[in-house]
Amino acid sequence: MCIETFRQIRFISGLNILKEGAGDTTTLGTKKFPTLRELHLSELGRIWNMRKNAFFAGLLALILVLAGCGGSGGNGGNDGKSSGNGGSSGEKVKISVWAMGDEAKSLPTIAEEFMKEHPNIVVDVQALPWSNAHDKLLTAVASKGGPDVVQMGTTWMAEFANAGALKDLTPYIDQYPEFAPDQFYEGAVGTTKFGDKIYGIPWYTETRFLYYRSDLLAEAGYPEAPKTWDELRDAAKKLADRGKDKYGLSIDMNEQSLTFMFARQNGSALLGEDGKPLFNQPEFKEAVEYLKGFFDDGSAPLDLGLDTVQAFAGEGIVPMFISGPWMINAIQSQAPDLEGKWAVAPLPAKENNLSVLGGSNLAVFEYTKHPEEALAFIQYMSKKETQMKWNELTKSLPANIAAWDAPLLKEDPKYQAIQEQLRHSEHMPMIVQWEKIAQTYLDSFERIVRANADIQAELDAFNAKAEQILSE
């Protein structure tokens, strides 16, 4: 009877937590419910009053003893008293690391090197696809379980920090030289902050920049990449004028940061000092008009039906596009014949040439039982040498500035151009609602481009929606 009561309490408690923490998430199969230690004392008291006999008194005493010995969360533990050397007993401590994307499959190689230096720490790496990582993290938050160390996309930081899922690392910054803010690009450090606290350490970074066919632009009268908005517009038009089914610049309608980047280049602050949106102001409107102009004059294709590399290769149907560093490998592997015929460059400028800064950070999950071991792993991942090794394995761009001394990066003009752009890149606003605002904008831009909707009216409506989202 008592056991069944406890089971019911655990199920109901866990279900309520899941509903509150994960919204519409219904994945219960992998859900870890709270342990007996996590049950509210009032529930224990109620059970005590229901069964006041020696048997249940003994059972309750046993429960309290077991609860005092440690709980769950999927991390094991020693009541949070951990040591970087695996604890006072010398027993090995196992920590779980959740990482995302294809590059995460290379992380066990780095983890093996870490474990050689920390023989009493065992690292269990779980590689998650980006497509379901967010929901899995929500479930982990709801269950107060999950990993010890977690990779966080920069746009997720505000959401999970606000939810109390990430440990405040501010007290540890001065304890670990590898965590010093001056070790990283300023924009990357900005992605780790929420409010006045630090919740992560930059791991790898990325930005957006211009890819261009140097051979075709030279034929169009541009021996170097366009350096201004006017030059980009002119070069794109000349490339489009090569003939039928030829274009100049690809504009990704699903790239949610694109317009916001160009708006910043035009002097927009995006959000005012009072936190209210400025998406219907002249600076933002002019950026939208500028981007729409590429579609209007035939310089940018709409629904081309080719992927980026296909359009870029061969005769160069679309010889310019804006994207991130991952496309370098894609071009080199899928279009090797282009060697020597393409290059990358910082974005053309208006008032400035600010790009968006993204990437990933490493954070300690709030519910870990092994914070010191988790921090030791992040410390190792932040070292210059480790970041160089990670770049060799995955081609991910180091967040550590010193790691850019690696020959692969230092001697390649493409990566030098990317580094120059990183110096002029900023993260999107670190607010919980930003992802929803950015996705909402894509609907507005779609109507502006495809339906030729009135730009000012559409932006007024979008700005009002953004205000509503911010007030939720």
Q: Give per-residue pLDDT as tens, 387-417.
A: 999 998 988 999 999 999 988 899 999 999 9
Over the chain, what is the mean pLDDT? 84
Comparison of pLDDT for 145 and 332, the residue scoring more: 332
In the predicted structure, residue 70 carries a pLDDT above the cut 70: no
CA atoms within 13 A on the CB side of 456: 2
Neighbour tally for 65: CB within 10 Å? 9
Which residue type is seen at 116? K
pLDDT at res. 381: 97
In the predicted structure, residue 18 carries a pLDDT above the cut 80: no
Q: Residue 35 — pLDDT band, cuts 50, 70, 90?
A: very low
Q: Is 334 helix (H, G, I), strand (E, B) or coil?
A: helix
pLDDT at res. 13: 38
pLDDT at res. 408: 83
In the predicted structure, residue 353 carries a pLDDT above the cut 90: yes
Do residues 269 and 351 make contact, with C-beta atoms less than 8 angstroms apart?
Answer: no
Comparison of pLDDT for 362 and 59, the residue scoring more: 362
pLDDT tens-digit map of 279-331: 999 999 999 999 999 999 999 999 998 999 999 999 999 999 999 999 999 99
Q: Residue 89 — pLDDT band, cuts 50, 70, 90?
A: low
Q: Is the dihedral of CA 264, 267, 273, 275 positive or negative?
A: negative
Please, is 398 exposed, middle or buried when counting C-beta atoms within 10 Å of its C-beta (0-12, 13-18, 19+)? buried
Q: Where do the domains of the chain lie, and which CATH numbers do they carry? A: 2-68 (no CATH), 93-206+357-426 (3.40.190.10), 209-356+430-471 (3.40.190.10)
Q: In b/e form, how buried is each residue of 361-394, taking b as 16+ CB within 10 angstroms?
A: bbbbbbbbbbbbbbbbbbbbbbbbebbbbbbeeb
Rounded distance between C-alpha atoms, residue 118 and residue 112, angstroms: 10
Please, is 4 exposed, middle or buried when counting C-beta atoms within 10 Å of its C-beta (0-12, 13-18, 19+)? exposed
Comparison of pLDDT for 65 and 134, the residue scoring more: 134
Weakest mean pLDDT among 9-23, 80-94, 244-258: 9-23
CA atoms within 13 A on the CB side of 37: 11
In the predicted structure, residue 446 carries a pLDDT above the cut 90: yes
In the predicted structure, residue 16 carries a pLDDT above the cut 80: no
For tokens 């290769």, the residue is 313
| Encoded tokens for 398 | 């180091």
> What's the whole-number mean pLDDT along residues 332-350?
97
Q: What is the pTM for the complete model shown?
A: 0.78
Give the whole-number percent of the chain exceeding pLDDT 70. 81
Q: Is 290 helix (H, G, I), strand (E, B) or coil?
A: helix
Phi and psi based region of residue 430 (left: phi greater than 0; alpha: psi -120 to 50; beta: remaining): beta
In the predicted structure, residue 61 carries a pLDDT above the cut 60: no
Nearest to 325 by CA among 257, 409, 258: 409
Which residue type is seen at 471? S
> What's the whole-number mean pLDDT along residues 13-42?
36
Do residues 359 and 399 make contact, with C-beta atoms less than 8 angstroms apart?
Answer: yes
Q: How does DSSP classify residue 396?
A: P
For tokens 């071009």, the residue is 331
Neighbour tally for 297: CB within 10 Å? 14
Orientation angle between helical segments 229-240 and 282-296, nearest 10 degrees = 20
